[in-house]
Structure 1
Amino acid sequence: MASFQGSLEPLCRRQTFYIHPEWPRGIRTHLSGHMYVESLEPEKVTQPYPLVLIHGDFHSGKVWLDKPDGNPGWAAYFLKQGYHVYLVDLPGVGRSGKHPSSTGGNVAKLSSLTPQTVEQELTCPEKYPWHQASAWETVARHTQWPGDGRQGDPIFTQYMASVTRQTQAQEALSALLQRTGKAILVGEGTGCIMAWLTTDVMHGLVAGVLSIEPSGPPFGSARSRGRLYGHRAVFDPEVREWGLADIPLTYDPPLPKPQAIIPDPTVDRRNNPFFPLCEYTNPEDPRKSCFMQNPVRVTDGGEMIFHQLLHLRKVPHAVITAEASSHSIFDWATVAFMRQAGLQVSWLRLEELCIRGNGRLMFLEKNSDEIALVLHKWMARLPAVNQGMVVPAPASALEALPKPVPGPKSAPVPHMYNSGPSSIPAVQPQGMETQHQIEAGWQFV
């Protein structure tokens, strides 16, 4: 038993292993689809569920170990709270390695970052106006990145050194859960997609999913041009065509299989191969729009029936959004789609919890422990029974966070779900006179 990253870090038992190796048949003899896993077990496990921390694009599992300024990362924080923590390098990334021909067509292309893009999007976006304007409206509030965020700064250099998908990730994470038992999945960026895909096939082994600014919005992008983020989603038929992912998720009623679809050039672009979509305008802010489902049908009683995420809705979810991140512009659309598809979601906007100045890399910024505490309090509310262990949630956690808000299985017409100053829409299909809203989750217990 030893400290894994220095005197400020908690003592833990560290083990490493590979999960889900496959040897492709034929003349190829290289390993395919394997995933590196680091197990960090505290001296005393006091939490009922282990955590699996899932990195996004540009990162590896190391992003959770320590921050570019040299301080301990989220792995250390959660170890101190008594969680058994698992870190992964997703297939094709970091220590999981990648043979050029090993992934075939199963893994989405990994994105890459230039130092200039890191400055403009992640570490100091507030210093880079777009054509004399802000790239997104909250960017000026970004204050939490340590250092000045530019090339030449030692903290920036350290971060760049750490910068290094969906079918193989789903399979590898599913295999890991069979080894760890029921666990909580914490993803960031594209890592959230991997967490959702894993939950879809292993929902019985997932206690909850926390999504740190998930890739979004559904069915498109929030970028209008260059670095400029707009309030109106831009439809892209090749992006998140299953709503939350690029590969199949389980819906009820089932969606048609892609190969059964014959493209019709006369069909409106907003109709992707799977969903009848509508462009939804947020009634609280007409500048904002996204793409949502039209109802599958409307009953004689006026009840609208939507495709539901059959397995994801069996697990509680949280989405965490930072004040000064570009995601502050469009995460509402991801949450709205999740709720419309029947998921129980807490939307944790950090500024609403008096945590200010954070950007996209909130887990690496100066106040990252404050944000980790928000996650810890949310997890404390999950049913805490696992292998006979019962851990009561502290009262402070119950007082500090909102209740998760479920999306309705079917929305009656007309109906309002506790609409208030913090409400967001569940759905408002074009051509229908009624508006359906659902509370964003800021009811305090």
Structure 2
Amino acid sequence: MKFRSAFLATMLCLTGTASQAADPIALRDMGSFHVGGRIAELSGLPVQDIVRVPGGPTSKLDPNGRYPVEQMYVQYFLVQNRKGKWPLLMWHGGGLTGVTYETTPDGREGWRDMFIRKGWDVYISDAVERGRSSFASPDIWKSQPVFLTQTDPWERFRIGPGAGSFDADPAKRKLLPGNQFPIEAFDAFTKQIVPRWLSTDDAVLAGYVALIDKVCPCVLLTHSQGGMFGFKAAEARPDKIKGIVSVEAASAGNLDKAPLLKSIPILGVFGDYIEQDSRWVAYRKSDFAYFDAIKAAGGSVDLIDLPKIGITGNSHMMMMDKNNREIAEQISKWLISKELADP
């Protein structure tokens, strides 16, 4: 085990970026697995003749049969010197994957490694339908996937000042004043965006609950669409969730089930310029209503409104912003204050 830990530490040090902390990351283990899913069976579909390799022979493609679908991919990193009292599960937003928490688009250290350095066992997943997790054919999922243009996140993630602020020419793109997103790497960021479906929420939630059943008790760190899944998963397994950090949840949980979270300390984190976009005003209003329902049941909810504490210019993708380390420190202090981690 000592040899394996030393080997892993060396490998992570060698594969890190030049801008990150110099000390190597020491792990006691790392790996990946798939969790959850179901078997879908198709029948009565026509058999096709296809050429699998250019210039190759024709072969039969029979789409009838059993398919494993809706399983979720998870990576884990178990730190050598653990300070987090439970694993930290990082859940991403809509149209994104677990890459959200890895290296930033401009090559700086992401929240994954920052929290590993702070002594947390970290699990990062690609939600069902995204990245290395399972999706399904149109014969199983009847809806069409949604794709995002480059314009969408520039405007919607509060990097530019709304409609008309994006241009194909980087020199002509308009920015919100003091914006912290690494705009020189915006095009690299958009390469992380993947299709998503609008009819698979139940499958996504089932994958997350299966992960909780496998590795928790745990703490959730969620972002955007992942915030909704975090709250709903906590409603389903309140005894297994020890804390929730919700970074700009794009939707809350079920109001009538909010009292189930009364024993879970919750932190809501919000960035800058929310008031300039009616969508984010609505999302925050939904979050606050959910938080109020938890507090009315006797629960604990804390808020970090970054501009109000002097941390300004943050986009919706604050874990990638130039001051991502400063925000990680705020979250870490809260986790320690709630006795979810040792100092």
State the TM-score, normalizing by the size of structure 1: 0.59
Cα distance change, pair 110–319 in 1 and its aligned pair in 2 (3 A): farther
1:322 aligns to what?
271
Does residue 375 (structure 1) correspond to residue 331 (structure 2)? The answer is yes
Matched-pair contact (CA < 8 Å) for 1:322–1:328: no
Q: Which runs of 5 or more residues in structure 2 are unaligned? A: 1-7, 44-64, 166-174, 195-199
2:293 aligns to what?
341
Q: Deviations over 1:152-206 (max 9, x none)?
A: x5x1221111111421222111111222121111111100011011101111110
Cα distance change, pair 102–72 in 1 and its aligned pair in 2 (3 A): farther
> RCO higher in 1 or 2 (8 Å CA, sep ≥ 6)?
2
Aligned length: 285
Residue type of the partner of 2:192? S
Cα distance change, pair 82–110 in 1 and its aligned pair in 2 (3 A): farther
Q: Deviations over 1:331-377 (max 9, x none)?
A: 55134312432343212101122211111111111000111111111
1:198 aligns to what?
233
2:30 aligns to what?
14
Pick from 191, 201, 223: which aligns with 1:161? Answer: 191
CA–CA distance in structure 1, aligned partners of residues 90 and 270 of structure 2: 17
CA drift of 1:58 comes to 1.9
CA–CA distance in structure 1, aligned partners of residues 330 and 26 of structure 2: 23
CA–CA distance in structure 2, aligned partners of residues 73 and 19 of structure 1: 25
Cα distance change, pair 127–314 in 1 and its aligned pair in 2 (3 A): closer
Cα distance change, pair 53–354 in 1 and its aligned pair in 2 (3 A): same
Q: Deviations over 1:33-91 (max 9, x none)?
A: 10000001122222101111001112101111111101111101000000000000000
CA drift of 1:97 comes to 3.0
Cα distance change, pair 17–146 in 1 and its aligned pair in 2 (3 A): same
CA–CA distance in structure 1, aligned partners of residues 181 and 99 of structure 2: 18
CA–CA distance in structure 1, aligned partners of residues 291 and 76 of structure 2: 33
Matched-pair contact (CA < 8 Å) for 2:266–2:301: yes
CA–CA distance in structure 1, aligned partners of residues 210 and 237 of structure 2: 9
CA RMSD after TM alignment: 2.6
Cα distance change, pair 323–110 in 1 and its aligned pair in 2 (3 A): farther
Pick from 124, 127, 130: which aligns with 1:93? Answer: 130
2:76 is paired with a residue whose SS is: strand
Cα distance change, pair 44–208 in 1 and its aligned pair in 2 (3 A): same
Higher helix share: 2
State the TM-score, normalizing by the size of structure 2: 0.75
2:97 aligns to what?
60
CA drift of 1:103 comes to 5.6
Aligned pairs for 1:72-151 within 5 A: 72-101=109-138, 104=141, 111-122=146-157, 124-126=159-161, 140-147=176-183
1:365 aligns to what?
321
CA drift of 1:109 comes to 7.3
Residue type of the partner of 1:190? Q
Cα distance change, pair 183–19 in 1 and its aligned pair in 2 (3 A): same
Does residue 313 (structure 1) correspond to residue 262 (structure 2)? The answer is yes
